[in-house]
Each structure stands twice: as C-alpha cells, then as structure tokens.
Amino acid sequence: MSQAPTDETTLEHYPWIVARFRCTRCRRYGDSRLARLAEKFGATETIAALISRFHATCPNRPRSRSGRIVLTNDRCGGYCPDLGATKPPDLPPAVGGLSLIEGGKADMLPAEPGQKPRHRRVGGGDE
Ligand SMILES: [Zn+2]
C-alpha cells in the first residue's frame, strides 16, 4: 500500500523511485531518481524544498530580462504532480486509473511509456 506523499514528505519516505516536477508556466520539467536527489540534497529534504529549488531556476521567475519586464508576481508554477496520489507515476493512466475503456483488451497497447518526451522547441535559439 502506497501512502500518498505530500509536500512535507521527505525523500526518505517518498514512495516512488522517480520524483517528477512540472511547471505550469514554463515548459521546464524534471524527472529525478529519488536516489540521486537523496544523494544530492540528503534524505531529509522535503518535496516542498525541492519544489523551491525548482522555482529558483525557473526561467519565468520575475525579473527584468533583455529589457522586458516579466509580469510581476508571475511566479514559477512548479509543482510535483504526484503529490496526493497513491499510484506510482511510472504507470500510464490506463493502468493506474479506474477508467474503463470501450473495447477493453483489444485496445490496449503493449507496454509503452505513458508519455513520450517532447522535443519540440518553441522560441529562438535553434539552428
Ligand atoms: Zn517555471
């Protein structure tokens, strides 16, 4: 039985192998193996603290950049999408969720990652 983690959960007690971080404002995201996080920050680091670290490096955090003022108080929307969930993030929704899909087994795909990484680049800087 997994216990749903909260932002007060320490790495030591985080139930899953991978801690995921997402941002609602920028496109940045991070998936980190728990062992690596614990090694880097210590086993008593909380998810909240990690989210703060994530915020600190957000490209959207308020500051004036190249003459353009970013919206005030437009803070990083970084969060951990797995807080409060009792299912490991490794499982795709079709497996972890309760929804039944019309067609059943015939529609099931072979074991495939839930999400494919996106490589789309938006904005300049590419070549
Ligand atoms: Zn952000």
pLDDT tens-digit map of 31-66: 999 999 999 999 999 999 999 998 888 776 555 555
* Distance from residue 53's CA to the centre of ligand 1 (Å): 11
Distance from the alpha carbon of residue 111 to the mean position of ligand 1, in angstroms: 31
CA distance 106 to 47: 39
Please give the span between the terminal C-alpha atoms of the chain, in angstroms, as a whole number.
48
Cα of 16 vs centre of ligand 1, distance in Å, is 23
Q: Measured in angstroms, how far is the CA atom of residue 26 from the centroid of ligand 1? A: 4
Residue 7 alpha carbon to ligand 1 centre in Å? 17
Do 43 and 10 meet the contact criterion of CB atoms below 8 Å apart? yes
Digit-coded pLDDT (tens) for 50-106:
999 988 887 765 555 555 555 545 567 899 999 998 888 765 555 444 555 555 555
**CA-to-CA distance for 36 and 57, rounded, in angstroms?**
18
pTM reported for the whole predicted model: 0.60
Residue of higher predicted confidence among 94 and 15:
15
Q: What is the mean pLDDT of residues 24-28?
A: 82
How far, in Å, CA of 40 to CA of 32, rounded?
A: 11
Distance (angstroms) between ligand 1 centre and the Cα of 54 equals: 8
